[in-house]
Amino acid sequence: MHHSTILSLALAVSPLAVLARGNLGYAVGARKPDSNCKSTTDYEADFDALSSKGGLGGVKRVRTYAVVDNALPDKLCQVASAILPAAKAKGFQVILGLSADTGAAYDSEKATLATVLTSDYASTVYALTVGSESLYREVDACELLPRIVDARSTFGNIVKRVGTVDSWNKFADGTADPIITGNCDGKASVPGITFLLVNAFGYWQGQDINNATATYLDDLQQAIGHIQDLAGLNTVEIMNGETGWPGDGGSNHYSAIASTKNEERFFKTGVCTMLALGVDVFYFEAFDESQKPLSKADTGELRDETHWGAFYDNRTPKFSLVCPTFG
């Protein structure tokens, strides 16, 4: 492990304060193993498993990807209306995703959310994220920014944080700069976005498990450092929006070998280190999703994404989700 990387990241996250442990959360899917949509009761069962066996004395935060899951167009899942009552009943907080790769997608998601999100859920919805790796899929930042600003205006009386989530390299290489600064066409026309989730995976970098944690930490250091340099005195809340490793049955990706043994190792080294540095982490993902289609890597190659859960799809943990240094 690169100790200089860990020190640099620690200083980037909190240069003056004593670091508090970060919070662990999980990404949760919208469907059951048979591809049917999860109900409120299903989400309640998910939350019971996460709070009792998800590590760190009980997990109480999850994130989603869309208001309506349209992975199967003939079987749409109403995510927000199903998950919010469950989260409120179980004392969970949700970072709720809105699809926003196109204006039409965003408008549809916004209209649906407006029928669901009431002040009753003000303490349940921790944040809204508009778009999920939209920049990674080559949506222009100045196209995405007005949708984030619109969501902030529309739902800001209920939700305190509205932002976006993208791959670490889109923050590190300047692609996301207009979102951070509110500056499109050479002028800062709106306040910059101050809630950002940064995704980073040693696996998708094709790293051997022996170098996966160092790569993960270095990638996040680059992204967080650039965001903070650009934001200046503006306070930006930054979380690790996704990280993880596929277990047994998953696809290998170059030197990254899918196995439950490697998944556990990455959790206990990479995830636990990031939490110890005071960064909130969302593990991708909570439960295996055997119904998911293949995922396309940067190279265009297809990879299995059904075995990424920290839990099997029957809600049984694959390994002890305990960090060696703080439980």
Catalytic residues: 133, 242
- Tokens 């051997």 appear where? 208
88 contacts 56 by C-beta, under 8 angstroms: no
Give the Cα separation of 33 and 26 in Å (integer).
Answer: 18
**Count of Cβ atoms closer than 10 Å to residue 87 Cβ:** 27
List, as one string, the DSSP characters of 65-87. Answer: S-SEE-SSTTS-EEHHHHHHHHH
Give the Cα separation of 169 and 200 in Å (integer).
Answer: 8
- Tokens 């270095």 appear where? 218
CB crowding 141-180: b at 16 or more within 10 Å, else e: bebbbebbbbbbebbeebbebbbbbbbbbbbbeebbbbbb
Task: Take residue 224 and report the two structure tokens written for it.
Answer: 């967080």
Instruction: Judge if the upstream peptide bond of residue 237 is cis by omega within 30 degrees of 0.
Output: no
Report angle CA 202, 83, 46 to the nearest 5 degrees: 60
Task: Take residue 130 and report the two structure tokens written for it.
Answer: 């508009």
Q: What SS3 class is residue 229?
A: helix
Q: Which of 197, 228, 200 is nearest to 214 (CA)?
A: 200
Give the Cα separation of 148 and 126 in Å (integer).
Answer: 16
Compute the half-sphere exposure of residue 19: CA atoms within 13 Å on the CB side of its CA: 20
231 contact partners, CB below 8 Å, separation of at least 6: 180, 181, 192, 194
Q: Which of 174, 301, 302 is nearest to 226 (CA)?
A: 174
